Structure 1
Amino acid sequence: MKKASHSQALLRKAGFTLIELLVYIAIVGIVVIVAGQAFSNSTKMRVRTQSMLKASEVAENVASLFKTDAAQTGAKSSMEMGSDFGGDVFSSINDSVYMDPANMDDDKKDFSSFHVKMTDGFSDLKMRRIRYDDQGHYVAVEEVNWFVQGDTLKRSCRTVTGTEDADDCKSGSSAEARGRAVEIATGISKFKVKAGLPGVSSTGKPAQVFPPCDLSGVCPEEFRLVSRIGEADYMATTITPADDYKIAELTGFTTNYDKANNSENASGTLRNQVVATENADPSGTGWRNQCKEITLETRTEYELSFSLADAGTFEKMRMFVPGRDQMSVGFRSTKDGSRPAELEDFFFYPPTDESASGVRLVRFSVPKKLTRLCIAFTFVSYSPLAVNGKVTISELRLKKVESANYKFDYPADTLNLKDRANAKALLLVFGVKRNGEEGTDSLVVPIPSNGRKD
């Protein structure tokens, strides 16, 4: 009996009880469920990622195609035979690149080269431009149409005038062109185009920043210059304004040349600096109180220009030595008199003969908004003769570059005819969906040829 009992005990040790078996099955079940869920999540993530990548790829491809089309909007001149020497010259073609310039109603004349409207929540965009041959000669005027039908983005092209492209851009009406449109992408969720409203135009703020324009938009030509003095290394300059304050003559420059020792001044650099103010009696003393303070905005291209005149053959300023003497124009802060770290001065030379007279012009933008600035001319002289010369400044202007400044935050979906002709950029916001995932893209395409001027 004892022997049999021992065997039964051994059998019980070698097997599982029912409870143990149930616990084991439960653990295995949990592991399988967790592993299955992880695998399912991994598969979903992979599919989702692939869908996002595919949607983004389609969006980028559409943006690239759109940019290629839109960049030439308004192109209206080409290289044609026409010079006296038999060479090619740029010549104006015709008005067919404009949307509707011959309208009998002057209020409806459209000198823009594009038209955009909203249809079922999507933009419907037409753009006109010249098609060229390999030598840049005129072939035809084309009208390209981007539009959405259902959730499909399509592109059509028709030849307006000139030689048709029988394969890609046949002649015919806009309706006929749309009927043979090519499918660009499906699953479209967004397709919105906005034209860049001119940031400076006759209907908005004037382009000229200095001299400041009045409330009615009249921009004066007169200005004054004020000498910066009363600081250790800034010396007085003689400023002789004309009666109309359109011209300022600067003389009496300080030299950094030591005539006694025939060498440069070793005691520190002395300089002359003048700042610009509007043509008005000064309201205070000191250059900080008299100068016209200017604010420079970000994402804005500015143009600073002025003219220099040559005084003639015996003008001592012709002895100016580049690399040794310095003339520059820039901006100074009225807070501490310093140059803003974000904007270097621009160097220029005086006329060396009559042919070198004329406009000096610089264009620039700033990475952040700068306030309380004055336009400042700085002169540092080392040559012994140039300091006895004269600098004549006229036509001093600071303005926003109209063709480079635009905004898209206007409420309407379309611009009025006048602003549309002045628009110099198109903004595209585009979205496409793949398996529930959306890829989006946006870009600004400059269209500098749009409008009357090429």
Structure 2
Amino acid sequence: MGPASRRVPRVFVYTERTVDGMGKITTDKRAGFTLMELMVYIAIVGIVVIVAGQAFSNSTKMRVRTQSMLKASEVAENVAAVFKQDVAQTGAKSSMEAGTTDDGNNFGSVHTSVYMDPVPGSCSSADYSSFRVSASSNQSDLTIRRLRYDANGYYEATEEVRWYVEDAKLKRSCKLVEKRTGLTLADDEPCADVGGTPEGVEMADGVATFAVEAAEPGVLEANEQVFPAADAGGAFNFFPRTGDMKYVAVTTVNSLGELGKGGTSVTISDFFTNFKSDDDSPGILDEGSRRLNQIFAMKNNTLEGTQTWATACEKITLEANQEYEISFNVDSPNAYSGDAKNRSLSFVPGVDHLSVGFRSVSTGDIPRKDGVKLLEDFLFFPPLDADKGGGKRTMRFSVPQKIENACMAFTFACYSPLIHQGKITISNLNLKKVVGTNYVFNDGGYATETHKAEKKNIKALRLKLKISRNGEGGSVDVVVPMPSNGPSD
């Protein structure tokens, strides 16, 4: 490209000729832009300003949205924390009014005011739970009951706490259902007095969802009791194991003194002694001469014909991974007279042996799989003092796989000199399924008010909470265990 075709920037010059004070003529030259260039420049600057302004506006909106979201989440989490504290104490019912024992504090006094409706007009609608929940759209109304204790664990009052939504505001109220005689409430008491009207305290506003769902009952009432059967009135009997050189029969009588008969209480006596009392060499019998006493739980039936423990005992199936509870009372020996009372107190821990467990009908031994025991026996002690040590014995367990055709067995081995002359009374024997800690929630939750008899076996609630702030939401979804709900926990 030659010099003639080279583009040269255009410069517009205007000349202003003036005469200065000396009579000289001067020329003033100034540079400028065309109108088109000026318009392009203004357009570019405008675009930059608009883009920068939009970016600043978006940044501000994002900051406001983030702050609203964080605030909503913070409120939801704070509310959930208070909610969990309330629900976790649902059904707390025992206090120290029963006094103390030599072994420590005894929380033995149960306050039935914690139950929602324990004595209704119809037994089928009895409600031994400590909560009530209803729902409308996305909003629930929850009421729970629990005990209040003083600093030493003694009963003060039964509280009823309610969570509900009113005009998109989540509120919490508290009132006393019952209180200890003479209890004076403080000026800043958060709960209304017995018979008073509670005032709701606002916990959060902008509540879009407050949904409380109940878990499925861990065990249905119809399946809870394994032995004795639910319609047996708590009656049972024992059948002694014999026919084996290792086992020797014992004597059993019921509370009426009827030999071999059952009821809600059975006394066992005439144990075999493995202690030889020879004057020359007293001590434990040789291993080949030692014997055990074993009795099997059976229905309170009158048996006919020839029976063995394997045909007479109650056959039980234990499901895999289901928690079970064996419970029974060992009565105080104060009911016995003379030497029987003293001999019953001569049990020597670590020497004498009392246990309860299960035996396979087919083998007569502890249930096994490939030679490995599926369940061990549980040791227990009889009362060691005439006025102490009696009462309930409880054992909980589960098995890794299903066990069929097993019978509950009590085993006795007496090695100390006098215990075989004593007596042991077993009463209120029970084997039942226990509500587990694997909580199952169905859509909408369990229909608690149409299954009131099952509510006592519900051990968890689920909270779904959503709070709105300036169009943004914060939410929580938590499962809260309530292990004390129901009369058996």
TM-score bin, normalised by smaller chain: 0.5 to 0.7
The correspondence for 1:193, drawn from 180, 188, 213, is 213
The correspondence for 2:233, drawn from 189, 206, 219, is 219
Q: Which amino acid aligns with 2:284?
A: E
- 1:219–1:370 CA distance, 2 compared to 1 (3 A): farther
1:332 corresponds to? 359
| 1:15-414 correspondence to structure 2 within 5 Å | 64-73=81-90, 114-129=131-146, 143-147=160-164, 154-159=170-175, 177=200, 181-183=202-204, 191-194=211-214, 197=217, 199=219, 204-205=222-223, 207=225, 209-213=226-230, 217-230=231-244, 234-241=246-253, 242-243=258-259, 244-246=261-263, 247-251=266-270, 253-255=272-274, 257=276, 259=278, 261-268=281-288, 270-278=291-299, 279-281=301-303, 285-297=307-319, 298-308=321-331, 310=333, 311-315=336-340, 316=343, 318-340=345-367, 341=373, 343-350=375-382, 354-355=386-387, 358-368=390-400, 370-387=403-420, 389-395=421-427, 397-400=429-432, 413-414=447-448
Residues of 2 paired with 1:65 and 1:210: CA distance?
A: 41
1:419 corresponds to? 453
2:482 corresponds to? 445
- 1:159–1:105 CA distance, 2 compared to 1 (3 A): same
Q: Which amino acid aligns with 1:156?
A: R
Residues of 2 paired with 1:322 and 1:90: CA distance?
A: 26
Deviation string 1:58-94 (CA, Å, 9 cap, x unpaired) is 98766543221123345689899xxxxxxxx999999
How far residue 253 of structure 1 moved from its aligned partner, in angstroms, is 0.9
SS of alignment partner, residue 66 of structure 1: helix
Q: Which amino acid aligns with 2:414?
A: S
2:5 corresponds to? none
- 1:354–1:436 CA distance, 2 compared to 1 (3 A): closer
SS of alignment partner, residue 449 of structure 2: coil
Deviates more, 1:112-121 or 1:137-146: 137-146
Residues of 1 paired with 2:270 and 2:240: CA distance?
A: 13
Q: Name the TM-score, length of structure 1 as normaliser.
A: 0.60
SS of alignment partner, residue 289 of structure 1: helix
Residues of 2 paired with 1:289 and 1:105: CA distance?
A: 39
Residues of 2 paired with 1:99 and 1:211: CA distance?
A: 28
Larger radius of gyration: 2
Task: Give yes or no for contact 1:325–1:383 (8 Å, CA) kept in 2.
Answer: yes
- 1:61–1:330 CA distance, 2 compared to 1 (3 A): farther
Task: Give yes or no for contact 1:153–1:186 (8 Å, CA) kept in 2.
Answer: yes
Structure 1, unaligned runs of 5 or more: 1-52, 81-88
- 1:342–1:102 CA distance, 2 compared to 1 (3 A): closer
- 1:357–1:65 CA distance, 2 compared to 1 (3 A): closer
How many aligned positions are there?
378
Task: Give yes or no for contact 1:195–1:425 (8 Å, CA) kept in 2.
Answer: yes
SS of alignment partner, residue 84 of structure 2: helix
Residues of 2 paired with 1:63 and 1:166: CA distance?
A: 24
How far residue 366 of structure 1 moved from its aligned partner, in angstroms, is 1.7
Residues of 2 paired with 1:187 and 1:125: CA distance?
A: 17
- RMSD of equivalent CA atoms: 5.4
Task: Give yes or no for contact 2:466–2:473 (8 Å, CA) kept in 1.
Answer: no
1:41 corresponds to? none
Deviates more, 1:320-329 or 1:133-142: 133-142
- 1:224–1:183 CA distance, 2 compared to 1 (3 A): same
Deviation string 1:151-180 (CA, Å, 9 cap, x unpaired) is x88342255688587696689967x62xx5
SS of alignment partner, residue 181 of structure 1: strand
- 1:153–1:191 CA distance, 2 compared to 1 (3 A): farther
Residues of 1 paired with 2:294 and 2:169: CA distance?
A: 60
Residues of 1 paired with 2:375 and 2:282: CA distance?
A: 35
Q: Which amino acid aligns with 2:248?
A: A
How far residue 116 of structure 1 moved from its aligned partner, in angstroms, is 1.0
- 1:420–1:142 CA distance, 2 compared to 1 (3 A): farther
Q: Which amino acid aligns with 1:221?
A: A
- 1:164–1:351 CA distance, 2 compared to 1 (3 A): closer
Deviation string 1:260-296 (CA, Å, 9 cap, x unpaired) is 7544344455423222222231676432222111234
Residues of 2 paired with 1:74 and 1:226: CA distance?
A: 41
State, as a whole percentage, how many aligned pairs show the same letter: 30
SS of alignment partner, residue 324 of structure 1: coil
SS of alignment partner, residue 448 of structure 2: coil
Residues of 2 paired with 1:353 and 1:164: CA distance?
A: 44
SS of alignment partner, residue 415 of structure 2: coil
- 1:218–1:55 CA distance, 2 compared to 1 (3 A): farther
Residues of 1 paired with 2:305 and 2:117: CA distance?
A: 52
How far residue 138 of structure 1 moved from its aligned partner, in angstroms, is 8.1
- 1:64–1:257 CA distance, 2 compared to 1 (3 A): farther
Task: Say whether residues 1:428 and 2:449 are aligned partners.
Answer: no
Residues of 2 paired with 1:198 and 1:308: CA distance?
A: 31
Residues of 2 paired with 1:122 and 1:267: CA distance?
A: 71
Task: Give yes or no for contact 2:164–2:171 (8 Å, CA) kept in 1.
Answer: yes
Residues of 1 paired with 2:248 and 2:119: CA distance?
A: 60
- 1:394–1:334 CA distance, 2 compared to 1 (3 A): same
Q: Which amino acid aligns with 2:406?
A: L
How far residue 117 of structure 1 moved from its aligned partner, in angstroms, is 1.1
Q: Which amino acid aligns with 1:225?
A: F
How far residue 381 of structure 1 moved from its aligned partner, in angstroms, is 2.7
Q: Name the TM-score, length of structure 2 as normaliser.
A: 0.57
Task: Give yes or no for contact 1:225–1:276 (8 Å, CA) kept in 2.
Answer: yes
